[in-house]
Structure 1
Amino acid sequence: MSQSTPIIDKKKYRTVYLRKRKMLGARDFDKKNARLLYHFHKFFDGHTSSMVHSFLSIEKNKEVNTWPLIEWLKSKSKQIVVSRCSTTSNELTHYLFEDYKQLKESKYGIPEPQNGTIVLPKDLDVVLIPLIVFDRLGQRVGYGAGYYDRFLTECSKDCVKVGLSLAPPLDEIPFTEPHDIPMDYCITPLGVYSFNP
């Protein structure tokens, strides 16, 4: 297998499964998000984490709607951390989310904090991870820029990595790369998948 094969395969997976998600009707999309929120509550209820990093949904990609998740976590006195990405350095900077006025939509349609208290990755207890598709081993296919793989290497070994997906897992993604970091859990409308040994 040539070195370029995994990249080509990932592009195919990314294209096919992102297209499928974008085809979800509004009613089905809302229903799946409501079921995911139910399982999210069950997963986090009583969880001892205090600082949770969340991605902010890209509406045009029909990502999991993270706003109800964020509001619920805040009601449980969790500190929420969100990120801004630098297109020049390909790195994320993380900020404590305190007010919606902090946010401005980027040219890619991503709400991003413009200011606030900077938080270091090593201080996070949980990271909620965006994805396009995942498998029963905890591997995921993201958008291809590698932001989260780099970010997760900076988190502590005790940080819990939780994916969010509107679709069930594939049996196996037939390619992984050395820099791919598997998730610990993935929350879906059907329930919570655990990948801990």
Structure 2
Amino acid sequence: MSQAPPVVDKKKYRTVYLRKRKMLGAKDFDKKNARLLYHFHQFFESHPSSMVHSFLSIDKNKEVNTWPLIEWLKAQGKQIIISKCSTTSNELTHYLFEDYKQLKESKYGIPEPQYGTIVLPKNLDVVLVPLLVFDRNGQRVGYGAGYYDRFLAECPSDCIKVGLSLAPPLDEIPFVEPHDIPLDYCITPLGVYTFNS
């Protein structure tokens, strides 16, 4: 009797690709971030914006290091917006990033603003989107809480959604749900991938 093929779903993808990323050595991690930063500069030089939302890196998950990106954007005169998660309402509240004193690490290891000027999603030009893996259609797999799908649904239609990934895309993520909002671009160490064009 032949065995049924293994069930592959988003949960499995999260486990596999988070493990792969955590296995990156320090030298390789730094090199990939440096190459991504180079492509990041090029992207923003050709995409004018004034108000950019960024996630703050979770070090233990070896996420793309967003601090050099944020510092460069600030030096270009951009306003940086960051978020705080509510675990009770499953919503994000967005604040203007003005000072590192605003930040405190949550119990999940996420730096979060504790106070500041609140900014509404309708005012954003660009959102930098965290992910574990993405595909050539601009679909992504995140951590599974749904914060960003709900957040992106509140952003204006012309807000540019930009993923950041240390790995290249998959050909296709086979499970896409109606509430999944695709990326417009994804910046990686190898270059910038464009979708919806």
- Structure 1 length-normalised TM: 0.96
1:21-170 residue pairs with structure 2 within 5 A? 21-170=21-170
User: In 2, Cα distance between the equivalents of 1:57 and 1:141?
Assistant: 17
Amino acid at match of 2:28: D
Instruction: Give the C-alpha shift of residue 46 in structure 1.
Output: 4.4
Determine helix, strand or coil for the equivalent of 1:93. Answer: strand
Amino acid at match of 1:144: G
Instruction: Give the C-alpha shift of residue 48 in structure 1.
Output: 1.7
Amino acid at match of 1:58: I
Instruction: Give the C-alpha shift of residue 28 in structure 1.
Output: 0.2
Determine helix, strand or coil for the equivalent of 2:85. Answer: strand
Determine helix, strand or coil for the equivalent of 2:9. Answer: helix
Instruction: Give the C-alpha shift of residue 172 in structure 1.
Output: 0.2
User: In 2, Cα distance between the equivalents of 1:15 and 1:186?
Assistant: 21
Quick check: 1:184 aligned with 2:184?
A: yes
Instruction: Give the C-alpha shift of residue 24 in structure 1.
Output: 0.1
Q: Which runs of 5+ in 2 are unaligned?
A: 1-6
Determine helix, strand or coil for the equivalent of 2:65. Answer: coil
Instruction: Give the C-alpha shift of residue 45 in structure 1.
Output: 1.2
User: In 2, Cα distance between the equivalents of 1:36 and 1:166?
Assistant: 7
User: In 2, Cα distance between the equivalents of 1:8 and 1:96?
Assistant: 39
- Structure 2 length-normalised TM: 0.96
Instruction: Give the C-alpha shift of residue 47 in structure 1.
Output: 2.7
Indicate the larger mover: 97-106 or 38-47: 38-47
User: In 2, Cα distance between the equivalents of 1:47 and 1:135?
Assistant: 22
